[in-house]
Amino acid sequence: MLSTTAQYALRALLVLASEPAERLVLGKDMARLAQIPGNYLSKIMITMAAAGLVEATRGSNGGYRLSRPADQIHLIEVVGLFDRQVAPKSCFLGVRTECSDCDPCTAHMAWKSVKAELVHFLEGTTLDKISGVPFKRARPAKRKTV
């Protein structure tokens, strides 16, 4: 349901949320921990830095950190950056720039309730509430030698 980019963005933020507030995390480490291709991650981080969700510091001791505590970052702020369909007047079919009750597309009325449910979840959930989501794939257990 969420685009891959939005999922990656949330995973990247979860890596930052798991670190102490002041600590800067290298992009390379984030890519490894969140399992995101490095180049893809850097583009996502640029968008999130521009939106004020993360702070980027250059230099040898540089890296990324959250610009706010995780309990103050709502998922809608992140997903809204990458998935246009959660925007208030977005059209499900993408055929028009704005879709509303007064000027609907054919999918609007049915889609409205789905979007309302999704937006309700994303607005009501903060990053710290999903910090228990395991974003690291479990490694296969080593075989015991008998």
Partner 1 sequence: MLSATAEHAVRALIQLAVLGGNGSVTGKQLSCTAGIPPNYLSKILCLLGHAGMIHATRGSHGGYQLVWDAAHIRLTDVVNLFDHARWRKGCFLDCGRDCKEADQCAAHSGWQECRDVFERFLDRTTIAALAAPIPVPPLVTPQWKGRRAS
Among 58, 134, 142, 143, binds partner 1 (CB under 8 A): 134
Task: Pick the closer one to partner 1 by CB: 24 or 118.
Answer: 118
Q: Does 74 bind partner 1 (CB under 8 A)?
A: no
Residue 107 touches partner 1, criterion: CB under 8 A: yes
Number of residues counted as binding partner 1 (CB under 8 A): 37
- Judged by CB under 8 A, does residue 69 bind partner 1? no
- Total Cβ atoms within 10 A of residue 10: 22
| 114 CB-side CA count, 13 A | 10
CB closer to partner 1, 10 vs 45: 10
Of 77 and 83, the one with the shorter C-beta distance to partner 1 is 83
CA dihedral sign of residues 132, 86, 2, 34: negative
Determine contact, residues 6/82, Cβ cutoff 8 Å.
Answer: yes
CB of residue 130 vs partner 1: minimum separation in angstroms?
Answer: 4
Q: Is 130 in the site for partner 1 (CB under 8 A)?
A: yes
| 76 DSSP β-pair partners | none
Contact with partner 1 (CB under 8 A) among 7, 42, 47, 67: 7
Q: Dig out the tokens for 129 from the structure.
A: 């509430």
Cα–Cα distance measured from residue 124 to residue 131, given in angstroms and rounded to the nearest whole number: 15
In the complex, minimum distance from the CB of residue 99 to partner 1, in angstroms, rounded to a whole number:
11
Question: Which of 96, 108, 14, 112 minimizes the C-alpha distance to 54?
Answer: 14
Measuring CA to CA, which residue among 97, 93, 89, 99 is closest to residue 119? 89
**Would you tell me which residues interact with partner 1 (CB under 8 A)?**
1-4, 7, 10-11, 14, 83, 85, 92-95, 104-107, 110-111, 113-114, 117-118, 121, 124-125, 129-138
